[in-house]
Amino acid sequence: MTDDYDIIIVGAGFVGLTLAFAFSQKHKRVALIEAKEKREKKHQHEIDSRALALSSASKQILERFNIWQHLQAVPINEVQVSEQGGFGKLYLTAKEQNLDALGYVMRAHQLGETLLSLCEAQKNITWFCPAILEGISQEQQKIIAKLNNHTAISAALLVIAEGVDSLTRTQLSFATKSRDYEQIAMVANISLSHAPTGIAYQRFTPQGTIALLPLNDKRFTVVWTVKKDQYHDWADNEFLEKIQSFIGFQLGTAYDVGPRQSYPLKAVFVEKAYDNRLLLMGNAAHTLNPIAAQGFNLTLRDIECLLNESSLERYQEKRIQDQKNMLRFTDTLVNLSSMKYAKHLRSFGLGSLNCLPFAKRRLFEHLLGY
């Protein structure tokens, strides 16, 4: 005998929690399977120092999901992209795009804690936690999930949201394409003594790409991407000196670095992310390089489409082109940023793009998935 749900979700990360809450707002019965205990998930959120950059389109999606009003976010009014030692710069502003903000930055731990609290409060979300998916069987009208605690549950749809290293995706032999960028991303929060508010920065350097996402009170999340053979576990003062040498003193002195986290970077793409009543979502379906901060934004568009589609075939048809475009776009940026002798080309390109309002508009629309 199995319990019947409208949807079963495996994985209670950002994607699984957002998906669960969005479906609960549609009065659907949701089963949420998570391998870690809830208190372990809460601790995992607490120590996550990352920041997430969300587009203005993603804000609108989260508003429609009834999630945005529970979040705290810092608006990005301007983005500046430059080449270290180069003459060309690209400026994107909310004003020229006729927007209240180009995007928003929020702390990853705050998003995770908020989503967890929202899902815990929903009576139509049933938690199976800690629990592990051990097997599935597909029938004509439903899919059955078998858990390691000898529980079996069924639903019309099962979504795998386990992340980039999804074990279930591997066990079910989904065909994947992957690319190891041979890069490490280092993430930490720092302060900059004279930084203005609401401006995000990206700088290309010979030692990798630096991104600065504004938090508040002159606090920024810095994401520094380097080649694996250049990675080193620098002491805090050395790390700050490195960042300072890349960005100069225009934003003041860098100080007060927080805990640092490092992540190897790779791209993963599943061409056909569904099988009958089973669907991969989030990083389990498409993992992007963070150079354009588009991974979660892309998945939010996926989730909204899934909410409004009656079949996975139609969902795939509607979403596949946006997913492929974003993968190609981020791959292109990585290639340009990694070219050894492309410094002057990048600088010229940024300066030229800055002089073309139509081209800047098209770039911004591409980032929004239009």
Whether residue 146 contacts residue 49, with contact meaning beta carbons closer than 8 Å, is answered with no
Determine which helix (DSSP H) or strand (DSSP E) holds 278, and give its type and residue range. Answer: strand 278-280
pLDDT of residue 140: 83
Q: 305: number of CA atoms within 13 Å, CB side?
A: 20
217-227 pLDDT, tens per residue? 899 999 999 99
Distances (CA, A) of 349 to 62, 67, 76, 132, 345: 34, 38, 23, 49, 6
pLDDT of residue 256: 94
Q: What span, in angstroms and rounded, lies between the C-alpha atoms of 30 and 21?
A: 9
Query: What does each of the 370 residues of the chain score in pLDDT, given as a tens digit?
Result: 567 999 999 999 999 999 999 999 999 999 999 998 876 665 555 555 678 999 989 999 999 999 999 999 999 999 888 877 777 778 888 888 888 998 999 998 899 999 999 999 999 999 999 999 999 998 888 999 999 988 999 999 999 999 898 988 988 889 999 999 999 999 999 999 999 999 999 888 888 889 999 998 899 999 999 999 889 889 999 999 999 999 999 999 999 999 999 999 999 999 899 989 999 999 999 999 887 788 899 999 999 999 999 899 999 999 999 999 888 888 877 777 666 656 555 655 666 656 656 666 676 665 655 5
Written as six digits, the tokens of 346 are: 């990048």
Q: What span, in angstroms and rounded, lies between the C-alpha atoms of 123 and 16?
A: 17
The stretches of the chain forming alpha helices (DSSP H) are: 14-24, 38-46, 56-64, 108-120, 167-171, 236-247, 295-307, 312-338, 343-354, 357-368
pLDDT of residue 37: 85
ω into residue 130 within 30 of 0, thus cis?
A: yes
E-strand spans in 97-246? 103-107, 125-128, 133-138, 143-147, 152-160, 176-192, 199-205, 208-214, 219-227
134-165 pLDDT, tens per residue? 999 988 889 999 999 889 999 999 999 998 98
Reduce the DSSP state of residue 78 to 3 states and report it: strand
